[in-house]
Amino acid sequence: MKKEIITRAGIPIELCEYLDDFYLISEMANKTLDELRSGLPIWIPAEIYRQMNLSVWVYSDIRVNAFCYYKDEKNYIALSLGLLTEFWNEVNDFVNQENLALVIKLSESNKPYVIDTLYFCMLNFAIAHEFGHIVHGHLREGKCENGIDEMLCISNDSDHKNKKMKNWMTQLKEYDADSFAVSIQSRMFLKYWKNDDMQWNLCVFDRMFITNYLCFRTFAEKTGRNFDTYITKNIAEYDHPHPGIRMYYSCIHYLDWLGRVFGFGENTIKILLSGVHLIVTYEKNVLEKEKVKESYFSIAYTKKGVQHVMNLHNGWQEWTEHFNQYAYIPIEKNENIDSIMFSLDEKGEFINKEEN
Ligand SMILES: [Zn+2]
């Protein structure tokens, strides 16, 4: 088995090709990692992939984390034992929860297949997210000490204003890495598209939305961040976006990718609405979350939520040119979003107003 030791902030970390056999998760995780590794080279043109000199590793830390790292023109993606285990638990809990049938019908015989697929897709998204940090030059730009972590790493900047600025810059990079991961995930799911079977397509794409929801929820709950007071806190107090915000802008990007392939007609809209409806009803009916501030996804539909989504999208566009100097592939600059409808007030009541 290949091993390599890297040093981050003075601490050596042993990276391994596979998890040692003695963990419960090892067999499943190692098999999935092999499949994932074989998919990476087709994400970008072959010559650029070769230049990136990329490898995917695991390391035995029980904290939930994934990180990317750059040194001597080599790029590393590393997933922690904690992440590989927590994603597995999350998927199993999701599929086996008692009330799931209120929103999704799964036969007992189909459950193991769904568990394996969701696990694969969640890890695929996590790796694609780290790949996004690398391929868009976030590491080569050099302001992040050659590495970006997904777990909370509190900035030791004592200046409040500086700290907020750093947090916001981190959120923008997270937004961009998520956008890249969405493009990879869309391409993967589009392979399963059947022209003559819309019901099948809806089931397939619902899984794509569940994957994202579970990924963002795990990252929000298991990486040391607390989003309970999101509604009253300044958005720049957080270093990573709220999970519902990540879900919302991912949906916008999914819509964009589907639209590029199929146009923005009835089928594209149906897929988006089905995915969004699934997550909203899941939080409401299965998790029985009554208040909007307790529901991750619903919070994105408040005035504060849509403003946050716009700030991230528009804020990142101002940085694309700068990061293009360090990126391996060109970063697309998109048009600014001028307004998004918001439909919930902070108490969770429906309203119908357009934000200008
Ligand atoms: Zn990230």
Separation of 242 CA from ligand 1 center, angstroms? 13
- DSSP character at residue 284: I
What is the model's pLDDT at position 77? 98
| Side-chain half-sphere exposure of 315, counting CA atoms within 13 A | 17
Read off φ and ψ for residue 75, nearest 5 degrees: -115, 140
State how far Cα 254 lies from the chain centre: 12
CA of 130 to the centre of ligand 1 (A): 6
Distance from residue 101's CA to the centre of ligand 1 (Å): 33
| 86 domain residue, yes or no | no
CA-CA distance, 132 to 125, in Å (whole number)? 10
Helix (H) or strand (E) holding 324: helix 320-324
Encoded tokens for 3: 């091993």
Whether the predicted pLDDT of 155 surpasses 70: no
Residue 327 has pLDDT above 60, yes or no: yes
As a whole number, mean pLDDT of residues 52-59 equals 98
Q: Categorize the per-residue pLDDT at 352 as very low, low, confident or very high, splitting at 50, 70 and 90.
A: low
In this prediction, residue 315 has a pLDDT band, given cuts at 50, 70 and 90, of very high
| Ligand 1 centre distance from Cα of residue 25 (Å) | 24
Computed from CA positions of residues 296, 87, 93, 117, in that sequence, does the dihedral angle turn out positive or negative?
positive
CB proximity list for 341: less than 8 A, separation 6 or greater = 306, 352, 353, 354, 355
Q: How remote is the CA of residue 133 from the centroid of ligand 1, in Å?
A: 7
Q: How far is the CA of 150 from the centre of ligand 1 (A)?
A: 5
Residue 17 belongs to some domain of the structure: no
Ligand 1 centroid to residue 215 C-alpha, Å: 12
- The pLDDT of residue 355 is 47
User: How many angstroms is it from 153 CA to the middle of ligand 1?
Assistant: 12
Task: Let me know if residue 57 belongs to a domain.
Answer: no
Q: In a 3-state reduction of DSSP, which class is residue 64?
A: coil
Contact between 28 and 49 (Cβ < 8 Å):
no
State the distance from the centre of ligand 1 to the C-alpha of 174, rounded, in angstroms: 5
Instruction: Compute, in angstroms, the gap from residue 241 CA to the centroid of ligand 1.
Output: 10
pLDDT at residue 356, as a whole number: 43
Tell me which residue of 150, 127, 134 sits closest to 71, measured CA to CA: 134
Residue 61 lies in a domain: no
Any residues with CB less than 8 A from the CB of 128 and at least 6 apart, and which?
A: 43, 180, 181, 184, 185
Ligand 1 center to residue 234 CA distance, Å? 20
Is 308 part of any domain?
yes
Average pLDDT over residues 69-88: 97
Residue 247's domain comprises: 98-354
* Centre of ligand 1 from the C-alpha of residue 178, in Å: 8
Regarding predicted confidence, which is higher, 132 or 284?
132
CA distance 290 to 301: 15
Tell me the CA–centroid distance for residue 240 and ligand 1, in Å: 8
User: How many Å lie between the centroid of ligand 1 and the Cα of residue 220?
Assistant: 12
Ligand 1 centre from 180 Cα, in Å? 11
Q: Which of 228, 224, 246 is nearest to 294 (CA)?
A: 228
Q: What's the rounded mean pLDDT across residues 234-250?
A: 92
Please report whether residue 130 resides in a domain. Answer: yes
> Does residue 139 sit within a domain?
yes
| C-alpha of residue 54 to centroid of ligand 1, in Å | 17
Query: Which residue has tokens 């919302």?
Result: 248
d(CA 43, CA 83): 23
> Which tokens go with 141?
């730009």
The rounded Å distance from CA 148 to ligand 1 centre is 6
Q: Is residue 91 part of a domain?
A: no
Tell me, in angstroms, the distance from the centre of ligand 1 to residue 181's CA: 10
d(CA 244, CA 252): 13
Q: Specify the pLDDT at position 339.
A: 85
Mean pLDDT of the chain: 92
Q: What is the pLDDT of residue 180?
A: 98
Q: What percent of the chain has pLDDT over 70?
A: 96
Please give the backbone phi and psi of residue 228, each rounded to the nearest 5 degrees, phi first.
-60, -35
Between helix 243-262 and helix 160-190 the angle, nearest 10°, is 40
Which helix or strand (DSSP H or E) is residue 184 part of?
helix 160-190
Q: What total of structural domains would you count in the chain?
A: 1
Asked whether the predicted pLDDT for residue 252 surpasses 50, the reply is yes
Cα separation of 8 and 134, whole Å? 17
SS (H, E, C) 137-171: CCCCCCCCCCEEECCCCCCCCCCHHHHHHHHHHHH
Distance CA 192, CA 204 (A): 7
CA of 176 to the centre of ligand 1 (A): 9
67 C-alpha vs ligand 1 centroid, how far in Å? 7
Dist. CA 66 → ligand 1 center (Å): 8
Q: How many angstroms does the Cα of residue 125 sit away from the middle of ligand 1?
A: 11
